[in-house]
Structure 1
Amino acid sequence: MTDTVTDVISGRTTQVIAAEINLIKYQVERIYLAAAVEIGRRLTEAKALLKYGEWGKWLEESVDFSQSRANKLMRIFKEYGAEQLTSSNSDPDPNLNYSQAVLLLGIPKEERAQFIIDMDIEGMTKQELRQAVNERTQTLHEKDRVLQEKDQALQENADLQKTVEDQSGIITELTTELANLKVQLENVKTSKAELDKTARQLKDSLESLQQSSSAKGYERMKTNFINTALKVRANHIAFLCENLDKTIKDVKQELLKIAPNDKETYITYKNKVYDLLNVWLKDETWSGQARPGGDAQ
């Protein structure tokens, strides 16, 4: 009998041998995962005891680990064994081996258990699991991207809304200012109309005076002329005083507006107003005129 026939009779086939090898590999990786968790546990403990700057040197001299390898082992402990600190002999997950555990690090911890159930990873090859993890990772990244774009759109919309509100406030303010200017313009027009009316009355009086031939009529018309002329001047002075008062109030109001933010300009033009008033009050041609009820000085 040949060796092949003997193997068949004894039940030892290549398929059986491959299954045994794969089982041993799986068990080894299970043991390796448990060992990795315990190594990661002790690395985490050691790092907490070392001073700043001593970690890399300690890894190289004491355990011959690179920092990247140590970080990977500590992460495996954190992800699969951190909840088992009171039991160093506990199996981190009876359904996972080391290769599966490493690949599953690509899945967020809070979603990992459901992913394992949904994908039934025990029946998947390493390549199939890697592809499934990559696809889920891409899906998560796409979801994050969509959420970020949504947040950005909401922020841009909020910024646009604020800009619209700010512009609306400016438009309202300008509209109010325009309305005030229109009122001022109407006041000027009204004052001018009154002056024009008085001027026409004066012209009529002059024409009547010229046409009058009697001394009595002449004196009457002369008196009317003088009274009308005085009225014109009085109205004009009233108009000027009204505008002077309004101008001073406007200057004061504008100065008070800029005072908090531009104190230098506020002080400069406030002093200019004081100086103008002092010059006006001290003007000899003004102070030397006749006072009401008295004689000229």
Structure 2
Amino acid sequence: MLIMAWPPFRKKNHNSFEMIHRFSGWSAVAVIWAQTVLSVRDQQRVTSGETLGGALVRSPLIWMLVTITVSIALSWFWLREVPVDAEILSSHAIRLHFDYAVPVNGSFARLSERPLLEWHSFATIAAPEAVNGHPRGYSMVVSRAGDWTSRQIGRPPTKLWTRGVPTCGVMRITPLFNRLVLIGTGSGIGPLLGHIQMAPCPVRLVWSTPSPEQTFGKGIVDAVYKGDPDAIIHDTKVLGRPDMVKLAWDTYQNFGAEAVCIIANEKITKKVVYGMESRGIPAFGAIWDS
């Protein structure tokens, strides 16, 4: 467990890391249960003729173990298979629509085809009302970034497993500010789209991606411009890769924002957050294997 938790191993072998931690953790809890029951039985034999059941009920160790076990099992009580309305955007991306919940902006949900073996987290785009034939609930933009995502694009699912409830992520901080610059690259538009469509404050979007309409569809591009008519969409296929720090700095100054939020890959996220903070600007991005 310790070796697989080392960031270089975890990043390259995430599914193995997840399975080893899950099954090893459960095995450890089972061993502690066995040790505790045997220990209480031995003490009960020494002290009095009390039954094993009575001794277990009186043992604080047992109640601590019950609390730990229930805490571990709690999210699995919410395990369920839900229907999916899949919308193919391109050979690179797909949008998955769900109708079982309407989450708050800035949250994410976990999906799986094999609940015991692997889970994948994606940001939610809330849909308080049915739109374009898709149900009330929420959606996710999933781009090709590995075997699992490629499989969803190649064979659009009709059902997937979900566990727990949508959980708040880094973008949940947006209501703390009066004016914000939102920066995204590629499929980072997914976590940002909900904040553009139902912005808690004036926002300015900077989105850098290759061929946005061909990759993510006209619907998402139209939704971006509807939420922020002055959004900056930088097509890297046409304009080349931008200096994201300079672009963030210029947009921050021109828009008169209070902070910058970014959803991108690890390298760009750290570069932009450092570039903004070194200029005294509050900047927020995801934490990578902290």
Query: What TM-score comes out, normalization by structure 2 length?
Result: 0.21
**TM-score, length basis structure 1:** 0.20
Which protein is bigger by CA-based radius of gyration? 1
Q: Which has the higher contact order (CA 8 A, sep 6+)?
A: 2
Whose strand proportion is higher, 1 or 2? 2
